[in-house]
Chain A
Amino acid sequence: MAKPRELRRRIKSVQSTRKITKTMELVATSKLKRAQDRVVAARPYAAAMAGVIGDLYAPELAERFPLLRQPGGAGGAGGVRHVALVVITSNRGLAGAFNANLIREGRRRIEQLESEGATVDLHLIGKKGITYFKFAKRPIASQRVDIGDKPTAAHAADVVNPLMAQFEAGAVDAVEVVFPQFKSAVSTPPTTLRILPIAPPRAAEGGRGRQRAVNYILKPSAEAILEQLLPLYVRNQLYRALVETVAAFYGSQRTAMKSATDNAGEMLDILQRTYNRARQTQITQELAEIVGGAEALKG
């Protein structure tokens, strides 16, 4: 059995670890709250944008806009030859399997695309993903770590504009984003979303009953409006991915830190019990020795 003194030292160390994880849990909880608010606040814009584009979209317009052009003709799955894949991870760890899951999803998608014969450009956001893919010796097309807890529409524009230009020039046939979808604080499945070419958002509204339900006065023409709004729509999709990543990160971190705190607590219970027993054993033994010694003196 371990010595009481060693046990006491371990108890101290586990106690301070628990204090740290507990604090991180609380910090993550409060940051999660704020990140979640930001996810919710971004919804009206996205909904309004999707609504208008859905209203204006007509299949015959699609051919005129490069951003709507499906690769290899109408909805062909085999036409994609060159894909830009944006993988979003966090800059920091201690969030359980959060980054590992994202990286796995990214790798799965890369393999899938490459087995279909496509070339994949890898664009990375977040330190964890960069570290991994560097370690895996995969060429990285672009990387950035400067997007922190508060992504802005400008960050999204920075990332997306060059990709949109490449897409319009025909250098890439599709742009996809791997990010954790923020379903709730405990459910953040890694998801791959194709942001280019744009899939008209009508499908999400359900039913064809509302085709141009309102006869709008349009100024300028539908085409001119679409031309302006489509890039904004694409940018917004990336913005949402960024915001959801932050929220999902703190969600995972809170869960991870909560279980770490719980585990530390359990460990402390066991250590404390072991320590008590060791201490008792020691006392009993000392007593036995003293009594033994006294008996011997009596002669």
Chain B
Amino acid sequence: MHVTVVSPERAVFDGAADAVVAPAYDGQVGVLPRHAPFLTLLGMGVLQVRQGSTSSRFQVSGGFLQVVGGGDAVRIVADRVEVS
């Protein structure tokens, strides 16, 4: 599935991934391919985007996570994003 991570200033990540673990407002949320359309608020914490054995980690806070396009695309739109 296709994952994009954007902050107000720029697109931080744009690429394919197998899984996303995001800090939602009420706890961790895992998103795998073919997830149902979904929209949730983000809290503060570490966002992980896994592709095979590599994983990218971002410190995010605020904003939202959205699953679109029949579960093939995940958009993480965060108020603050730091690559960690």
Contact = CB atoms under 8 A, between A and B. Distances in A.
Contacts of A48: 6, 66, 75, 77
A220 B41 contact: yes
A215 B77 CA distance: 19
Contacts of B64: 52, 225, 228-229
Contact of A153 (B26, B39, B66, B79): B79
Nearest to B78: A45
Contact of B7 (A153, A220, A228, A229): A153
Given A41-B11, A42-B8, A45-B8, A216 B39 contact: yes
Chain A interface extent, by class: 20 to 34
Contacts of A232: 62-63, 79
A219 B40 contact: yes
B6 A236 contact: no
Contacts, number: 75
A42 B9 contact: yes
Contact of B39 (A152, A218, A235): A218
B24 interface: yes
Q: Describe B's contact surface by its main secondary structure.
A: strand
Indicate the size class of the contact surface on chain B. Answer: 20 to 34
Nearest to A229: B64
Contacts of A44: 4, 6, 11
A13 B62 CA distance: 56
Contacts of B11: 41, 44-45
A153 B7 CA distance: 9
Interface of B: 4, 6-11, 24-26, 36-41, 62-64, 66, 68, 75, 77, 79-80
27 contacts: A38-B9, A38-B10, A41-B10, A42-B9, A42-B10, A44-B4, A45-B6, A45-B9, A49-B77, A52-B77, A153-B7, A156-B8, A214-B37, A214-B68, A217-B37, A217-B38, A218-B39, A218-B40, A219-B38, A220-B41, A225-B40, A225-B64, A228-B41, A228-B62, A232-B63, A232-B79, A236-B8
Given A152-B9, A218-B40, 15 more contacts: A41-B11, A45-B7, A52-B77, A156-B8, A216-B38, A217-B37, A217-B39, A219-B25, A219-B41, A220-B40, A220-B41, A224-B41, A228-B62, A232-B79, A239-B8
